[in-house]
Chains A and B, each alone.
Chain A
């Protein structure tokens, strides 16, 4: 009987070369599926499990990134309170697993997507976008995600679908801000179908090479960089395709201040403040004048065509 010593055993006999060469991807998938996590020490587990990145994108801006700390501690996420620092305090308590996104309305393939399925639906991309809040401040954020159009194509909207509505989770336990009737809960935002299909509209799962922190909309949100920030719904649990323009949270709350379109537009002021300029968080110092806001947040070349012939003062 031949008993092989370990040295006789070629590594390739245990692990094929192709698998060996793909070990990082394999580990990444295993991590995503939660297979490896229980085997790792807690610190490594959280660090490994949080990693998420993709290939580079030509849509990325080369502007200076807003520091991670500012991106994750200065947030508007009213479900977790109206203070900018409150989401970072309260949102971590929200559970993001298990998580499903219901797709319904005018689509051929209605159904539920587990977050694990959504993560694998299309290849991830790193996209560095400008982010302009309706409150006249802005950031530059390296998001991780893939075009929203990939999901939309998968579920095949019917001919009647003209709009898409995104519903944010309503978890009364952890979402302390929902105890006040500030907005209609759950938060709903919406896009015209052609806007949602635009290659810049990103179904987003991460930022700074990590999965989204809860306060930034974990585990899945949209990012629509040519619109004011509130249009980019966070922590999405439902995507509904409709024939009629959906009723959206801020538009319902104050229709004269927050239009359905809410494209970034320096020429159309908010009734209570100017939109001509913005403060770049983390970069513009205390004694720096605000910078000029760009039409469609600097994405006019890509998206202006969506609004050809429309009066943007009327459809603000």
Chain B
């Protein structure tokens, strides 16, 4: 298996950083040149939401991909993907609060409490915050084993994110269904691993008790 040297990894990281920034750059350009169609606010809302889900899935795909290929260096890209998911989620949230609701706090509170797709989307965003806040090496060291426990919330965040999308579309569920399938695959493989692990742990125990 090929492994990048330090400088190569840096180059890969820089390229990924630029790639993940491209949708944002496209939106900024689109707003500046009025190139986002008839309803630019809707376009920004949908785009930032879509990229949040995409990057959440990409983050969750790192470990399965690493294990399947043995390319352990992929793990070093995971934090950036996760932070970019948070970046687009934040833009999505700001678009809603500012451009859609124009800081009308009572309308926002009503939405969050009354409308399930907003309730669940808002919850997912809140859950994403501690993950972003504890993403540094220092926090990882400080939290020790708890770090992984905290960051397993990403599974729930992914599910909430897809539900948020699913519940808001009017009739055509094609896109949320695709995200749901991808997410089911990414979580399913983890479930499979954990069952496998449990079987490996229990099998010797069974052997001793019978012997």
Residues of A within 8 A of B (CB): 69-70, 73-74, 78, 82, 84-85, 135, 137, 180, 182-183, 253, 271-274, 276, 279, 281-282, 286-287, 289-290
Q: Can you name 23 A-B pairs with beta carbons within 8 Å?
A: A69-B38, A70-B38, A73-B37, A74-B38, A74-B39, A78-B171, A82-B172, A85-B37, A135-B170, A137-B42, A182-B171, A183-B171, A253-B171, A272-B168, A273-B111, A273-B115, A274-B107, A279-B42, A281-B38, A281-B39, A286-B31, A286-B99, A287-B99
B41/A272 in contact, CB under 8 A: no
B14-43 CB mask vs A (1 if < 8 Å, else 0) is: 000000000000000001000001111110
B171/A82 in contact, CB under 8 A: yes
Give min CB distance, A283 to chain B, whole Å.
Answer: 11
Give the residue of A69, A182, A272 whose beta carbon is less than 8 angstroms from that of B115. Answer: A272
Interface centre among B31, B39, B111 (most CB of A within 10 A): B39
> Which residues from B are CB-within-8-Å of A135?
170
Q: How far is the CA of A276 from the CA of B39 in the complex (A)?
A: 18
> Which residues from A are CB-within-8-Å of B107?
274, 276
A286/B38 in contact, CB under 8 A: no
> Which residues from A are CB-within-8-Å of B37?
73-74, 84-85
Question: Is B167 located at the chain interface by the 8 A CB criterion?
Answer: yes
Closest residue on chain B to residue A85 by CB atoms? B37
B31/A279 in contact, CB under 8 A: no
For the A-B complex with A272-B167, A281-B38 known, give 4 more contacts whose Cβ atoms are closer than 8 Å: A271-B115, A282-B38, A286-B31, A287-B99
Q: How far is the CA of A288 from the CA of B168 in the complex (A)?
A: 24
Q: How far is the CA of A70 from the CA of B38 in the complex (A)?
A: 5
Give min CB distance, B171 to chain A, whole Å.
Answer: 4
Q: How far is the CA of A48 from the CA of B42 in the complex (A)?
A: 36
Q: How far is the CA of A239 from the CA of B182 in the complex (A)?
A: 45
In chain B, positions 126-175 with a C-beta closer than 8 Å to chain A are 167-168, 170-172, 174
With known contacts A182-B172, A272-B167, A290–B102 Cβ distance under 8 A: yes
Give min CB distance, A182 to chain B, whole Å.
Answer: 4
With known contacts A272-B115, A272-B167, A272-B168, A279–B41 Cβ distance under 8 A: yes
Q: How far is the CA of A234 from the CA of B16 in the complex (A)?
A: 46
Question: Is B50 located at the chain interface by the 8 A CB criterion?
Answer: no
Q: How far is the CA of A298 from the CA of B203 in the complex (A)?
A: 73
A279/B102 in contact, CB under 8 A: no
Give min CB distance, B121 to chain A, whole Å.
Answer: 12
Give min CB distance, B177 to chain A, whole Å.
Answer: 12
Question: Is B117 located at the chain interface by the 8 A CB criterion?
Answer: yes
B177-189 CB mask vs A (1 if < 8 Å, else 0) is: 0000000000000
Q: How far is the CA of A281 from the CA of B37 in the complex (A)?
A: 10
A289/B102 in contact, CB under 8 A: yes
> Which residues from A are CB-within-8-Å of B31?
286
Interface centre among A69, A183, A253, A279 (most CB of B within 10 A): A279
Closest residue on chain B to residue A273 by CB atoms? B115
B40/A286 in contact, CB under 8 A: yes
Q: How far is the CA of A253 from the CA of B183 in the complex (A)?
A: 28
